[in-house]
Structures are given as structure tokens and as C-alpha cells.
């Protein structure tokens, strides 16, 4: 009784049973190919396409969206999906990259990379070329209180009037102190979001002694770290949050190296270019490169 659409992308042997169970419950369900059809293969594209279709079908029920649907003749793509499209377009031009979008409600991390050959030999589960994680609890406005509490005592050492600042946090900070406070919250959002997105080396003891295997996303081959979203495009000094990503690696995490270069989406255009790229990839790429200064 969730009253939300469900997409089943599991074992194909269960398709008929799954469809029957949901139909009996009066629950909307969509059946797609298994995302993990064999031990060494991922097949995520059918699921991504279905998510897009279901999103477009249901988004028109959101406030104001029925009018948008009347005006738009093409696909309506959610912002994280649009930024992902922009990242894939850039990857084909400049190579391995990751992008962070720190906003008021969420912090999204996108990466397009196959990882390093050395790490691949130790990987136990395949990873897609393009991967996105959307952290719904890490935002500098809607979820500002959550980030505030994650900082703990440090926030009080940094800001004498911390409680007043968090009570009156605005969608767009107006004073220098408010901007500094939002950057402080954003630093924690970046730290946690990257840690959740990145994989790590795990040690174990076997017959030959201590060995290692890789769990999750390998970001060590990333050459470019891109900042987009309100924090990176509107607040001076936010670039430093990306330059310090490697410093936050606790130990065995597979973070980008300190040599990775930081780029900022100055025109705040990545999402728009992701949509544009579906029809005009060359023009979208030109706009992206101009915004990133490359």
C-alpha cells in the first residue's frame, strides 16, 4: 500500500510472480531486465530508461507541472539525471571525472570513470561507467539542521551565535557571516556525500596471509572534480571544498588523487546542458566547456 510506482529489476525467474503479487495488491509495478544478470556484468540502462519514463508520467501531478507538460514537447528530465547526462558528455571529451552538486535539499555526487587497472584487479563486484548517488539528507537549506548536528561541537567553536544562524538560515545567504556559515555546512555535505559515493579497500586474512579486495566505487583515476549547484556557483570560496576532498579520505577510501583539477560550473548550466545534449550535443558541450573555463 505504498501508493508509489515500483520498478522490479531483479531475477528474471521471478517476473511473473512479482507481477502477480503487485497486481493483486493493486500496486503499480514495472518489470525490466535484471540490473545484475551475471556475476561479472551490470545492465543498468533499461532501469534508467524506465525510471525516466515513470518520472515523466508522475511528475505532472506535482504543483505547476501539468502546465509545464503543456509547454514542453520533449522529455522532462529530473535535475540529477540531467547533470549526469552533462557528465557523460564531458567524459567523452576530457576523460575521467566526478561532479558534486550541493543544493538546498540534497547533495548529489556523479562520477564517470572505469577506475584504475590496478584497482580493477581487486574489485569483487562490477560498477557502471556512470554512477550517481543522491543524498536526500544533505542539503544546506532544507536539511541544514541535519548538517549542523553532524558537525557537533565544532560548529559552536567556529560560530559563537551558531544557534541563531541555524534558526534563521535562508535559501540565499545575504551577509558575510551567513555565507561563511553555509560554506561550513556545505563542507560537511561534501565530506559525507563523497564518502558514501566512494569505494574502499577492505583487508582480510586468507591462507597466504593478509590480502585486500575492493568494495564499491573506484575514484582514483578521476582527473577532474566539478562543482555545480547553488553553493559552488554562487558562493565565493566554495572551490576550496573540492580542493580538499582528498584530505578527508580516512584511509582505505578510493578517492581522487590530490593532482585532480577542480572546475566550477560558473554559469550554473550543467543541468540545462544535460537536457540540451539529448538533441544538440555539440552545442551543449561548447556551453559546458565555456562555463567550466576549459
**Cell output for 75:** 522529455
Q: What is the mean pLDDT of residues 222-228?
A: 97
pLDDT at 269 over 80: yes
What pLDDT shows up at residue 251? 67
Cβ contact 27:2 at 8 Å: yes
Cβ contact 124:213 at 8 Å: yes
What are the two backbone dihedrals, phi and then psi, of residue 268, each rounded to the nearest 5 degrees? 50, 55
Please choose, from the candidates 43, 245, 86, 25, the residue with its C-alpha nearest in 3D space to the C-alpha of residue 6.
Answer: 25
Of the chain, the percentage scoring pLDDT greater than 90 comes to 69
Q: What is the mean pLDDT of residues 255-283?
A: 95
Q: Which residue has the higher pLDDT, 3 or 129?
A: 129
Tell me whether strands 261-264 and 224-228 are parallel, antiparallel or unpaired: parallel
Cβ contact 43:35 at 8 Å: yes
What pLDDT shows up at residue 210? 80
Dist. CA 112–CA 166, nearest whole Å: 35
This prediction has a pTM of: 0.85
Of the chain, the percentage scoring pLDDT greater than 70 comes to 98
What pLDDT shows up at residue 126? 83
What does the pLDDT look like over 40-79, one tens digit per residue?
A: 788 888 998 898 888 888 877 778 777 887 888 877 888 8
Looking up cell 579486495, which residue turns up? 213
What does the pLDDT look like over 165-200, one tens digit per residue?
A: 999 999 999 999 999 999 999 999 999 999 999 999
Dist. CA 128–CA 134, nearest whole Å: 16
Q: Can you list the domains of the chain with their CATH numbers?
A: 1-76 (no CATH), 79-292 (3.30.420)
What does the pLDDT look like over 149-164, one tens digit per residue?
A: 999 999 999 999 999 9
DSSP-assigned states of every residue in the chain = ---S-EEE-S-GGGHHHHHHHHHHTT--EEE---SS-BTTB---HHHHHHHHHHHHHHHTTSTTHHHHHHH--S----HHHHHHHHHHHHHHHH-SEEEEEE-SS-EEEEEE----HHHHTTBSS---SEEEEEETT--SSTTHHHHHHHHTTHHHHH-TTHHHHHHT--SS--SHHHHHHHHHHHHHHHHHHHHHHB-EEEEEEETTEEEEEEESB--TT--EEEEESHHHHHSTTTHHHHHTGGGG--SSB-PPPTTPEEEE-TT--HHHHHHHTTT-HHHHHHHHHHHHT-
Question: 236-262 in b/e burial notation, b at 16+ Cβ within 10 A?
Answer: eebeebbeebbeebeeebbbbeeebeb
Amino acid at each position: 500500500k505504498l501508493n508509489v510506482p515500483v520498478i522490479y529489476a531483479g531475477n528474471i525467474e521471478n517476473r511473473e510472480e512479482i507481477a502477480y503479487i503487485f497486481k493483486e495488491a493493486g500496486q503499480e509495478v514495472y518489470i525490466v531486465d535484471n540490473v545484475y544478470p551475471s556475476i561479472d556484468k551490470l545492465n543498468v540502462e533499461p532501469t534508467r530508461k524506465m525510471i525516466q519514463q515513470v518520472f515523466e508520467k508522475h511528475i505532472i501531478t506535482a504543483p505547476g507541472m501539468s502546465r509545464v507538460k503543456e509547454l514542453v514537447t520533449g522529455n522532462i528530465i529530473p535535475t540529477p539525471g540531467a547533470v549526469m547526462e552533462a557528465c557523460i558528455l564531458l567524459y567523452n571529451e576530457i576523460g575521467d571525472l566526478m561532479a558534486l552538486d550541493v543544493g538546498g535539499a540534497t547533495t548529489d555526487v556523479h562520477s564517470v570513470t572505469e577506475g584504475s587497472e590496478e584497482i580493477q584487479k581487486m574489485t569483487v563486484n562490477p560498477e557502471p561507467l556512470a554512477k550517481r548517488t543522491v543524498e536526500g539528507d544533505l542539503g544546506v537549506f532544507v536539511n541544514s539542521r541535519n548538517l549542523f548536528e553532524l558537525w557537533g561541537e565544532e560548529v559552536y567553536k567556529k560560530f559563537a551565535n551558531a544557534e541563531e544562524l541555524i534558526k534563521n538560515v535562508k535559501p540565499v545567504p545575504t551577509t558575510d557571516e551567513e555565507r561563511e556559515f553555509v560554506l561550513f555546512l556545505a563542507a560537511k555535505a561534501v565530506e559525507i556525500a563523497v564518502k558514501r559515493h566512494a569505494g574502499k579497500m577492505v583487508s582480510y586474512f586468507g591462507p597466504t596471509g593478509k590480502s585486500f579486495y575492493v568494495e564499491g566505487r573506484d575514484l582514483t583515476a578521476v582527473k577532474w572534480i566539478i562543482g555545480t549547484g547553488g553553493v559552488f556557483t554562487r558562493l565565493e570560496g566554495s572551490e576550496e571544498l573540492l580542493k580538499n576532498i582528498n584530505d578527508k579520505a580516512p584511509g582505505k577510501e578510493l578517492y581522487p588523487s590530490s593532482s585532480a583539477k577542480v572546475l566550477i560550473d560558473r554559469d550554473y548550466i550543467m543541468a540545462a546542458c544535460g537536457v540540451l545534449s539529448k538533441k544538440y550535443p555539440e552545442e551543449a558541450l561548447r556551453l559546458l566547456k565555456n562555463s567550466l573555463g576549459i
